Chain A
Amino acid sequence: MTDINKLNLAGTKAKGKRPYFLADKQTEQVMSVTMALAMELSVARERMASIECLLENKGILQRSEIDDFQPCAKEVKRRSVATQEYLARILRIIQQDSEEQAAEDELSVEEAQRELTKY
């Protein structure tokens, strides 16, 4: 009955030129992506809360056991490593900007191309 692309149709734009408010369009688009991710994080947290409720209702654990949970030394180390990996992953662009500022003589690809196509 319905020969439609549901994925595209859900996110289709409203007719009428979209106003942009921030200094540049890409910044606003990044903000838009960030807010969608914020929503998905909120959804994941709720799902987690639901799992906790279910585990509690089924008598598997008390929620206070999670709040009071003390990870063992090995787990603490594992988490610290995971957190560092996580931060490095999400802040990669800043790291790379910092590297670029430090490296003074890097060429752009266009410059490299000019270099490589010289006779």
Chain B
Amino acid sequence: MSKIKPLPSWDVLTKHDVFPEANHDEVARLNFLTHLNVHLSSSILPGVKTAYEKKVEPTLVNKLGRKPNTRHEVREAMLENSYFQMWSALRRNTMEMRQQVGRAQVLRQIEDLVEKVEALNKGAKTLVLDDSVKIPTNVGIVDIHCQPGCYYTEYFENDVTVAASYDLGLFVTTAGLLGTLSDGGGQAVGQWLKANKPHYTPKRILDIGCTIGHNAVPLAQAFPDAEVIAIDVARPSLRYAHARAKSLGVDNITFMQADAENLSHFENESFDLITTAMFWHESSNISMPNILKNINRLLKKGGLTLHLEQPQYDGMGVYEQFIRDWDTYFNNEPFWGPMHDKDLKALFDECGFNSNDMFEVGVVSSVDEKIFGKRETDEPGEDYGRAPVWNAFGLWKENK
């Protein structure tokens, strides 16, 4: 009999100065939802695969006279399966509960939070908001990952509700794997660069689609002499991000409201490093090449552009594609599937890069000891076997 391993409590998160406070019952709610997410993925989700293999696939083979060859055929058939229906209903509902819980917690203290954010942001030249920036279609068409108000809605002047709720909820969906500041993605990029290019010191860094700056902050800390510019279209997120970074003692990031499709205010070849983290799946067929062309224009020769994403679907079996694609249809991520179908090399070529320079690499964030404790020496294998792993792709721009 294997022992039941306790999961970390939400309360281990680092409480930076603008992090929403949580009382006893709020912590209990967030912990319940974290446990529910883990239960759904570790105890209930495996049965979805069984349902597919034992029931749905044979029926489908009978009907089609062949194995299904797209994830869409799999999805249509699975939507009729009662086990998949139940798992999906529970998963969708858990996402929605997480939103309600986070928002209720933030809203009861929103006046205090706004005051703290304003005090930290007052007079700062490193927060640049621009009223003329419009919300692009790919951001505004639905509320991404079922987050009411998305990243950008302001319910009153100087509001940060959506950003604070986003910050406190990242733990719930990842069960702490992103670390005490939910910054595992940015940490992983910094660590990967130090390990693979130990002498690389970018002077000017652009982070696109920064939201609350949780991945820009570790980059700014990894390169403290660099000037980091983190852009987003979402005002509440930028306000919160700036105050959050400041409270963490990070002063070398300018948070700027800008649309990545229109970056004419930046000069050609003015950045050494251009990054995104889990950004492209929230773009669109139109914006993705536009933004890549901008990156090509802004990146210095010899510079690096690096993007954290989930892996592309190419080469995956139809079931894995289908299950990874759940978020596309059922968690308001309409471009998730189409993005993961893209031929990235062709796209980079189309946008002026030389795809021969491209690389893809698995980037791993070390599991945070502050959350999971020091690993016991006799504990076999990876930490919980659930290390946060991303597929990073990018290229070093030709230096000629």
CB-contacts of A40-75 with B (<8 A):
42-43, 46-47, 50
Q: Check if A13 is an interface residue, CB within 8 A of chain B.
A: yes
Contacts of A22 in B (CB 8 A): 85-86, 89
Residue of B nearest to A39 (CB): B32
Q: Check if B262 is an interface residue, CB within 8 A of chain A.
A: no
Q: Do B32 and A42 have beta carbons less than 8 Å apart?
A: yes
Q: Do A46 and B92 have beta carbons less than 8 Å apart?
A: no
Size class of the B contact interface (CB-based, 8 Å) = 35 or more
Contact of A43 among B28, B99, B107 (CB under 8 A): B28
Contacts of B88 in A (CB 8 A): 19, 21
In the bound complex, CA of A38 to CA of B36 (Å): 10
Determine, out of A1-9, A82-90, A100-108, the stretch whose residues face the partner at the interface.
A1-9
Q: Check if B363 is an interface residue, CB within 8 A of chain A.
A: no
In the bound complex, CA of A16 to CA of B84 (Å): 22
Contacts of A15 in B (CB 8 A): 142-143, 148, 150
Interface string of B91-103 (1 = CB under 8 A from A): 0111011011101
Shortest beta-carbon distance from B113 to chain A in Å: 11
Contact of A50 among B24, B33, B159 (CB under 8 A): B24
In the bound complex, CA of A21 to CA of B24 (Å): 34
CB-contacts of B70-90 with A (<8 A):
79, 82, 84-86, 88-90
Q: Do B155 and A31 have beta carbons less than 8 Å apart?
A: no
Q: Do B111 and A2 have beta carbons less than 8 Å apart?
A: yes
Q: Do B29 and A10 have beta carbons less than 8 Å apart?
A: no
Grouping DSSP codes into helix (H, G, I), strand (E, B) and loop, the B interface class, with mixed when no group exceeds half, is: helix
Q: Check if B146 is an interface residue, CB within 8 A of chain A.
A: yes
Q: Do A19 and B92 have beta carbons less than 8 Å apart?
A: yes
In the bound complex, CA of A54 to CA of B108 (Å): 26
In the bound complex, CA of A28 to CA of B96 (Å): 13
Say yes or no: A43-B25 contact (C-beta < 8 A), given A14-B143, A19-B329, A35-B97.
yes
Size class of the A contact interface (CB-based, 8 Å) = 20 to 34
Residue of A nearest to B158 (CB): A1
Say yes or no: A32-B93 contact (C-beta < 8 A), given A39-B29, A46-B28.
yes
Contact of B97 among A6, A19, A36 (CB under 8 A): A36
Say yes or no: A14-B146 contact (C-beta < 8 A), given A6-B107, A46-B24, A46-B28.
yes
Say yes or no: A10-B33 contact (C-beta < 8 A), given A19-B329, A21-B92.
no
Q: Check if B330 is an interface residue, CB within 8 A of chain A.
A: yes
In the bound complex, CA of A11 to CA of B105 (Å): 11
Q: Do B332 and A21 have beta carbons less than 8 Å apart?
A: no
Shortest beta-carbon distance from B54 to chain A in Å: 20
Say yes or no: A1-B24 contact (C-beta < 8 A), given A14-B143, A31-B89.
no
Shortest beta-carbon distance from A22 to chain B in Å: 5
Q: Check if A12 is an interface residue, CB within 8 A of chain B.
A: yes
Q: Do B143 and A11 have beta carbons less than 8 Å apart?
A: no
Q: Do A31 and B156 have beta carbons less than 8 Å apart?
A: no
Shortest beta-carbon distance from A33 to chain B in Å: 10
Interface string of B31-47 (1 = CB under 8 A from A): 11100100000000000
By a beta-carbon cutoff of 8 Å, the part of chain A in contact with chain B is 1-4, 6, 9-16, 18-23, 28, 31-32, 35-36, 38-39, 42-43, 46-47, 50
Known: A6-B104, A11-B103, A46-B31. 13 other contacts (CB 8 A): A2-B110, A2-B156, A3-B156, A15-B143, A16-B143, A16-B332, A20-B89, A28-B89, A31-B93, A32-B93, A32-B96, A39-B32, A43-B25
By a beta-carbon cutoff of 8 Å, the part of chain B in contact with chain A is 24-25, 28-29, 31-33, 36, 79, 82, 84-86, 88-90, 92-94, 96-97, 99-101, 103-104, 107-108, 110-111, 114, 141-143, 146-150, 155-157, 159, 161, 329-330, 332
Q: Nearest 4 CB-CB pairs, A to B?
A: A16-B142, A14-B143, A10-B104, A46-B28
Q: Would you list 25 pairs from A and B whose C-beta atoms are within 8 A, ordered by A residue?
A: A1-B156, A2-B159, A9-B103, A9-B155, A10-B103, A12-B149, A14-B96, A14-B99, A14-B143, A15-B142, A16-B141, A16-B142, A19-B88, A19-B330, A21-B79, A21-B84, A21-B330, A35-B90, A35-B93, A35-B97, A39-B32, A39-B36, A42-B28, A46-B25, A50-B24
